[in-house]
Structure 1
Amino acid sequence: MAKKTEATVEEKLRALYDLQLIDSRIDEIANVRGELPLEVEDLEDEVEGLKTRLEKLGVEQENLTQEIANKKNAIEESKGLIKKYTEQQKNVRNNREFNSLTKEIEFQELEIQLSEKHIREFKVQIEQKKEVITETKERLKERESHLKHKKGELDAILAETEKEENTLKEKSKEYQELIDDRLVKAYKRIRENVKNGLAVVAIERGASGGSFFTIPPQVQMEIAARKKIITDEHSGRILVDPNLADEEKAKMEELFQSL
């Protein structure tokens, strides 16, 4: 293979078109995978989110159970104090002491009522958490099953195409080595700016491939002469003549079949 500095314009054009054919083949493989990798990634994120939610709900449920235990302990403490104050009332010396103890007993009875109210509220919240946990577990099970299915699809496609794709990527690098850096950068820039990734196209029916804008006969002759790199003034794509394109397509088809 000729070195980059020694390559003729025709050799550069052939290498550019070959590079385009290789990269287009890689694009086709990526299209076969389609949105699957993103779907799998989204499902993985959703599954992790559901697991995190279940953990959080579990912690909240445990906290509520502990709060109930705390309130039950508080009730027992209040009952103990009521018993104590009631016993003390039997030994008071005056009404003031009796009334003071009565107020303490009433306060502890209110504390018991408040604790019981909180316990009821906590129990309702626990039941609500249980419902959400059940729903979340069902959702998680369904999403995990869907993820397994999508991963299976993706793995099957990767198994079929990974070897070919990796080989093509290596070939893409090899062909880039045949072209000077300035052209490679221009090629990549054009590829990024066009929808279908076609930076190098052949003339078809007097127009740039995929375009309706006719190329003047004089420019078509210059392209066919293969003496300089010519771009389409409308799309910015690099243009090659149909004969060169057909020759390179046949050559590349043999390469693709051998992979």
Structure 2
Amino acid sequence: MANIKELSVEDKLRALYDLQLIDSRIDEIRNVRGELPLEVEDLEDEVAGLSTRLEKLKNDLESINEQIKEKKNAIDERHAAIKKYTEQQKNVRNNREFNSLSKEIEYQELEIQLAEKHIKEMKASIEHKKEIITQSEEKLEAKRTHLQHKKSELDAIMAETEKEENFLLEKSAEYQGMIEERLLAAYKRIRSSVRNGLAVVSIERGASAGSFFTIPPQTQMEIAARKKIITDEHSGRILVDSTLADEEREKMEQLFANI
């Protein structure tokens, strides 16, 4: 490979146009995938989020069931206390002791009522959470099925295009290595600023490809002479003559056909 500094302007233009053809081919491959990779990523995030929520709901259920168990044990203990205080009332020596035990019994009965009220509320909460869990499980299953479908779709496209894309990425890097840093930076800047990614275009019918602005005959002659890098004053794109473009397209089509 010739040293970058030894390349003629024509060689630089050919290398730039070849790089453009390679990068445009990579763009086409990625466009085929479209939004699929992002869709898969979003679905994976949704599935992870739903799984976490479902796990939390199930943990909440276990916690509530444990609280109900504790309340029931407390009720049993309070019933035992009532039974004990009732027995003690039979052996009191005066009204003061009897009334004191009656208050204890009344307190225990109130605590039992409060515990039963809490149990009732917690059971209602359990039923509500069970409904949400069922809905969440159905939604999660639907999302998992959708994710699997999208992943299969993406895997199929990747299997078809991965080899070609990797080859083209290597070629892109190879051609970038042939172009001086300043020119390559300009190419990348233009490419990132235009919607279709075309930084290097040929002259077609007296205008730069994709543009309606006519290029003056004198400028067209300078472009055809290939003695300096010329850009379109309207779009900023680097311009090459149609003959050079046809030659490089034919060369690149052969390269692509052998992938």
TM-score over 0.5 (shorter chain): yes
Q: Report the CA distance between 1:14 and its aligned residue.
A: 0.4
Query: Per the alignment, in what secondary structure is the counterpart of residue 104 of structure 2?
Result: helix
- 2:97 pairs with 1:130: no
Deviations 1:219-241 (A, max 9, x none): 11111111111111121111111
Query: TM-score of the superposition, structure 1-length normalised?
Result: 0.98
In the alignment, structure 1 residue 185 sits paired with structure 2 residue 176: no
Superposed CA deviations along residues 171-199 of structure 1, whole A, max 9, x for unmatched, are: 00111111111111111111111111111
Deviation, 1:2, is: 2.2
Q: Where do 4+ consecutive residues of structure 1 move more than 6 Å?
A: none
Percent of aligned pairs with the same residue?
Answer: 73
Q: Which amino acid aligns with 2:123?
A: K
Amino acid in structure 2 at the alignment position of 1:132: I
Q: After the TM superposition, which residues 142-221 of structure 1 pair with which residues of structure 2 at under 5 Å, given as runs?
A: 142-221=142-221
- Deviation per CA, 1:21-42, whole angstroms, max 9, x where unpaired? 0000000000001111111111
RMSD: 1.0
In 1, the alpha carbon distance for the partners of 2:20 and 2:93 equals 107
Where does structure 1 lack aligned partners over 5 or more consecutive residues?
none
When normalised by structure 2's length, the TM-score is 0.98
Secondary structure of the equivalent of 2:198? coil
The aligned counterpart of 1:238 is 238
Q: Secondary structure at the match of 1:103?
A: helix
2:111 match: secondary structure: helix
Shift of 1:105: 0.7
Match of 2:13?
A: 13
CA deviation string 1:140-181 (max 9, x = no partner): 111111111111111111111100000000000111111111
- Partner AA of 1:243 in structure 2: T
Matched residues in 2 for 1:93 and 1:116: separation? Answer: 34
Structure 1: distance between partners of 2:217 and 2:101: 113
Q: Could you say what secondary structure the match of 2:10 adopts?
A: helix
Q: Could you tell me how far apart the structure 2 residues matched to 1:88 and 1:219 are?
A: 116
Aligned amino acid, residue 123 of structure 1: K
Counterpart residue number, 2:249: 249
Task: Indicate the residue corresponding to 2:91 in structure 1.
Answer: 91
Q: Deviations over 1:190-225 (max 9, x none)?
A: 111111111101112222211122222211111111
Q: Distance in 1 between matches of 2:106 and 2:250?
A: 99
The residue number in structure 2 matching 1:227 is 227
